[in-house]
Structure formats: structure tokens, C-alpha cells
Chains A and B, each alone.
Chain A
């Protein structure tokens, strides 16, 4: 009798806990969000955390597709091509209970356009934002801008009254010496509410039961505990020991281990990031080479020979342990303008490359310095090391100079390197973004990441015209035309597309988002 009693009591207890149990997702990745102020830092982990608690007008789902969030319908205005109209979702509430309407949307977009906002460049073409009734917003642009909406997918909406009450109508800046309230608090409309946050240690969020999309999305995760774990061995250990359920940035050497462990799985997908080398082809003479009075990289044959000498399959197999997709162009696969033909991997042909070098007058080769980061991309330094050996086969003697990203990137921006590695992600999923930064002549507004010194005024005109071309077919034609020039002039030597690896417990069911942002409202649990 006593036994039955105990059994009953136990099963009752088990049943109780089964019902009451929160479905907690313990989540870890290498870096923490820098701030909760949604417009202060345009950076991956920062907006990934913000996406749990705040929402933009429109957003990307886990496959990268643009879907409605706080706006339900949007498009260029029928009567004025310089205007975009957004119809806002009705009945949405912020976490503090305040109602969301056009006033908040206008306030937030204007906030994102101020001096200290990290998103102002994405809104550079916007001349004004105004309300169109309680649930409508109109964005005016300086000219027709067919892709404007793509720039809004990480632009989070804040409550105007909350911001005024807490003195955060301005984006946090580094001058004041004061901490802004918005850096540590969040009041969004998103699926999860902030419970507590200790920067670099732990952030806890709980489900927002008043979320407008509660029935529309799985919403199976009811609590999120986010802990950054910087050291990759510790991060993997935390997953293996069951202290976390889900990690991003699984180091390639540990993939097999995690995948074969009981109760764990690894999911893989191409990332929105392509890795390539840039070459100084514009200067008359190079500083870091041994050729006097001439720039060997200015000769297209030399650039093509170098492109031909890189064995991308070998890099994939040996350096990346199969975790990369060899590339033929500097655009990730999901971007508008990407084609299979352009991305076809160049064949490695040492004999032909050698004869091209000889034709160009460099049969005996030349020497050159390669600048490479060692803490930015997956196995960045090892890729450069592999390239050194491959280029030596055609007589290009490369001295590798690998250093931390904080020292590497200024070399590109200040034009102090002639041969460098760079990686590029495309948040707008459109080729225009690539051309603006990497192909246009470097100047005040365009080409800020173009370290090649390449300058083609005709091409620059076409690139600038993309922004206001509303005929999409014609615009795509222009994009193809620009890509043709970029490929023919061999601006860059593409290496590969990075691959994202997420490690997780077997109970987690999700696809890997190409922008590396996990949005937990889409997660299912087995």
C-alpha cells in the first residue's frame, strides 16, 4: 500500500514538473552583445540578441527570406517613386504595455538616422520619415530606391514614450561619460522579455505571452539563458557536458566530436560571408615588393596567373576540413546577382599560370607581402599560409604578415597594404552593397573598403545608378554587367564561402540562418 502511495505521489510530481517545466534554451556563442541600445552598434551578436526582444518593421526569417514583422504590407508608393509606404501591424504592445503605432516607428527611424547611430549609412538615401495615420508610415528617399526595404531588417523599433521618460531619445555616444538607460534595458515588442543582464556573463529572457505572433510561430522555447563563452575549447566542453543546449561558432576541429557525441548534433549551412584576397592594381609602383619602378599586380596577366595558382579544393580539404565552399566570385550564394556560372571555381593550372607570368615579364617571379588577419575569419592565417605555398609555385614569393584584426583592417582602410585578405557579408542580400564598398573607386561616400586602388569611372557611374533604377529587370542587367567587369579585371582573388556550424542538443530543431542570427521564436523542440 505504501509502495503504491509513493508511486502515485512520484508520478504525480513528475507530471506536475512536466507541465510546469519551462523549456529553457541555454545558448552560448563566442561574443556578447555590445549594448542593448538597438541603434548604437551594427554588429552580428548585438543585433542577434536584440532580435529576441525587439522587432524591426520587416525582418529576415531563419532562411534569409524577408517577412513581415511590425509592418504587414509595404512597397513603393504608386504615385511617387521617391516614397515607400508601410502599413503597420495593429494591436501590438510593447513589453511595458504601451501600444505600438506610427509615432514609435517614426521616432525610431529618425533616431537611427542621427549622428551617433551605427545604422545611418543604411538610411543614407532617406530624406524624411512621416506618419500616415495611426498605422501607416511613409519613408521619403532622395531618389527612387528599389531596395530600400532590404536595409530595414535590423532596424529595431523602440517606444517613443519609454525613450522620452528614460532620457534615451539619443543614441548612446562615447563622449558624454554617462551610461544611457537603453544600453542595459530593453522595451521592445519582441517574442521574449528581458529578465536580467550582466554583460559578458549572462542574459536571461522569458517568453512574452502577449506577443502578437504567439500562435503564428512555434514559440516552443519559453526561456533563454544567453552566456558568451569566448574560449572555443570551453564552449565545446560546455556543450559536451550538457551545461548549454546550443552553441554557435563550433571550431572546425571539434565538429566530428560534437556530432558523434550522444544526444548532440551539428547543423551546417553556407554563411553569408565570402573570403578573398585583394590586390593593389592601381598604384604605379608597389612599396612591399622587389620590382623597382613597376607594379606587377597592375598587369592583368599576373592577377589572372595568381588566381589560377590558388588551389581552392586543397584549401577546402586540408585547411578547412571540408567546411567551406570554394568560390569564383566575391558574393555569397543567396545574394541577388550571384550566378552559378560566375561562382564557378577557377581551375588550378600551374603550367598555364607560369607561362602567363612569363608573358607578363615576370618569368623569374617577384616578391610581395601578404597581410592577413589571425582572429577574424575561420582559419584565416592558415588559409594565407596555404596560399603562400601555392603562389610560390608560379614564382611569386610571398612573405606572410598575420596579425589581429584591429591591426589588419586599418592597413586596408589607410591603403597601406598591396595584397591582403578580406571577408565580406551582404546584409542587404543585393550585389549593390558589394559594389558600393568593394568595386567603386575609394572616396568619401563609396568604396570605403576598396583597397585595390582600382578605379573605373564608367563602372562607378553604373554602380551609382543602381540605387535609383526602379526597373528591376534593367537593374539586374546592370548588376550582371558590373559583375562581368569585376570578373574580367580580376579585382579580387575569391577563395571560398564560409560555412556556419551550429552545435546543439538533439532536442533542438532548427535550420541554420545564413546571417548567423538565431531567432528563437522559430525554434522547435523535439
Chain B
């Protein structure tokens, strides 16, 4: 167990380092930050001086090494765009993204499971078929278009919901939350739907197909034969057994909700880390790009590591395999 865990942790660290290396080798193709940092009046001498000061004239491997040694001491560098430490900018932006991700995740799970069960039980009903058809739209339309359509309908035409921003936020310690004000809650609705729609349809279709499978299983037939009520069969016996794969997929999807909030945040001017990253790319703000990419890869690698270790704990066959190959 210990050897396996250590091996997995070491592998994860290697993956992280490789992600960082690839990221740094790509930054040169994003462009040159110097022009954005100096005004129009800069001379060629200024450019050379700043490039030297920032170490941008050195090979990317050296720049990467410097980033790593600094990051190891907790220093993520200073944003080229804002002139402030990257760590404090990320801390300031994280609550917006996490709250958005949490609400859209909740929206996707609750509605996804509910609609999935409904469409599975009423397989041939008109409403179920309608939902299935509409859900195709959710899968096939790009996020930014859905966002713009929602803004047009609910903000411009109906005037019910705000078209951008987070509304009023309340500071709780270092955490700014939009949950405690009515404008903050209203502002969450459209971006959460936009961000969660794809996940919702995914979960819905997954629940539906799993449900249909389970409903054909023998123990359901036995339950019916025993004369149990439909409700009890559907929600107690069938749904419970459907949820195992759904939870696995949902867990992994939560990571991508955070990572792919970029587009939703841009459309709704949501002041989270995704918007920060988009601005960083446009400005070639290398410290912010590097920190964001590392953060996202730490998150994904972390989730996968936990899943792997859990499998190991749960599935005894893995243990047997190891001892055999190692023996």
C-alpha cells in the first residue's frame, strides 16, 4: 500500500512538472509582455532594460526554474498587468469562481438527476421526449452563445436579471460572498445556468440510461412482483443503484466546471479567476498565467490521485495484482 501510494504521488508530481514545462515553453508564442507594460513612448533601451530585469531574455527553462524555486517558497511572483502579487490576486478572485462553480454544480446535479429519473420513468411521454430534445440544444450550443441568449432574454427584454457582474458582495474575513445580498443572488442565476447547462444535460442523460438499465434488472422485477409501490421501486431501489457511476462522473466534472468557467466569466464579466486568466493571456501576464495553469493542474492531478488511492483502498484485486507483479 505504501509503495503504491508513494509511486502514485511521485507520478503526480512528475505530471505537474511536465505541465509547467509545457506551459512555459508555450508562453513565448502568446506574445511579448514588454509592449503592454511600457507606454507608447518607451525607447528601445527601456525595452532591453525591462526584459533583462524580468529575466525574459533568458531561455524558458531558466525562467521555469526560477518560477519553481520561487513557488516553492510561496512566492508566485508579481502580475505584469496589475503590479500586485499573484497570490493575493488569486485569493481575491477565487471566491467568485468557487461560488459560481458551487451553484452551477448544484443546479446540474439536482436538475440533472430529477430530469433523468423523470425521462427514464416516463420513457414514452410527450414531456420526457420534449426534455430530451431540448437537452440536445444544451449539449450542442456553445457556452458563450447560451450566455448571450440568456442575457438578451432575461436582462434586455424582460429586465428581470442583471446582465453582468456579481451584484453586491459581503466580505466575510478574506472571503467575498454574493450569497448574502439579493442582488448577489440574482446575479448568480444566469451565469450558473450558462455554466451548468452542459453538465446538467450530461448528468441527465447518464441518469436516464443507467436508470433504464437498472429498471430492466431482475431485482426490480422481483420488487414489482412483491407488490412494492412504484415510488419505492423507482427512488429507493433503482435510483440508489444508478448513482454510483453518476457520482464518479460528477466528481470529475466539478473540476472541469472550475477550469472551464473562463468563457462564462468573460461573457458575464464575472470577476473570478477565469476572467483573470483571459486578461492575463491578452496582456501576456506570464506570472498569472503560470500560477493559474499550475493551480488548475494541481486540482486535476489531486482529484485523480485521490480517486486512484480510493480505488486501491476499495478494490482488493489491485492489491493482489501488485503483490504478484512485485513478487
CA distance A448 to B80 in the complex (A): 22
Determine if A409 and B45 form an interchain contact, defined as CB atoms under 8 angstroms apart.
no
Chain A binding surface, main DSSP class: loop
CA distance A179 to B83 in the complex (A): 7
Determine if A227 and B31 form an interchain contact, defined as CB atoms under 8 angstroms apart.
no
CA distance A382 to B229 in the complex (A): 66
CA distance A442 to B85 in the complex (A): 36
Interface segment out of the listed A39-47, A475-483, A486-494: A39-47
Interface 0/1 of B148-163, CB less than 8 Å to A:
1001100110010011
Interface segment out of the listed A228-236, A281-289, A306-314, A345-353: A228-236
In the assembled complex, the CB of A186 is this many whole angstroms from the nearest CB of chain B, namely 15
Residues of the A chain whose Cβ atoms lie less than 8 Å from the Cβ of B83: 34-35, 37, 40, 172-174, 179-180, 183
Query: Could you pull out 19 A-B pairs where Cβ atoms are within 8 angstroms?
Result: A37-B83, A121-B41, A173-B83, A174-B53, A177-B75, A177-B77, A200-B271, A200-B275, A201-B165, A201-B269, A230-B278, A237-B148, A237-B156, A241-B156, A243-B162, A243-B163, A406-B36, A425-B40, A444-B43
Residues of the A chain whose Cβ atoms lie less than 8 Å from the Cβ of B276: 200
Question: Which of B39, B75, B82, B282 meets A121, CB within 8 Å?
Answer: B39
CA distance A421 to B6 in the complex (A): 55
In the assembled complex, the CB of A442 is this many whole angstroms from the nearest CB of chain B, namely 8
Give how many A residues have a beta carbon under 8 Å from the other chain's beta carbons: 58
Residues of the A chain whose Cβ atoms lie less than 8 Å from the Cβ of B152: 237
A133 CB-CB contact with B under 8 Å: no
Determine if B39 and A118 form an interchain contact, defined as CB atoms under 8 angstroms apart.
yes
CA distance A237 to B165 in the complex (A): 13
How many pairs of A and B residues are in contact by the CB < 8 Å rule?
Answer: 149
CA distance A2 to B205 in the complex (A): 60
Determine if B279 and A42 form an interchain contact, defined as CB atoms under 8 angstroms apart.
no
Question: Which of A180, A200, A230, A238 meets B163, CB within 8 Å?
Answer: A238
Using a CB–CB cutoff of 8 Å, the interface residues on chain A facing chain B are 34-35, 37, 40-43, 118-119, 121-122, 172-180, 183, 198-202, 227-231, 233-235, 237-238, 240-243, 375, 404-410, 413, 425, 427, 437, 442-445, 448-449
Residues of the A chain whose Cβ atoms lie less than 8 Å from the Cβ of B81: 34
CA distance A378 to B256 in the complex (A): 34
In the assembled complex, the CB of B142 is this many whole angstroms from the nearest CB of chain A, namely 13
CA distance A119 to B39 in the complex (A): 8
Determine if A231 and B41 form an interchain contact, defined as CB atoms under 8 angstroms apart.
no
Residues of the B chain whose Cβ atoms lie less than 8 Å from the Cβ of A240: 156
Question: Which of A35, A174, A375, A445 meets B54, CB within 8 Å?
Answer: A174
In this complex, what residue of B is CB-closest to A32?
B279
Residues of the B chain whose Cβ atoms lie less than 8 Å from the Cβ of A404: 30-31, 282
B192 CB-CB contact with A under 8 Å: no
Determine if A234 and B164 form an interchain contact, defined as CB atoms under 8 angstroms apart.
yes
Residues of the A chain whose Cβ atoms lie less than 8 Å from the Cβ of B164: 227, 229, 234-235, 237-238, 243
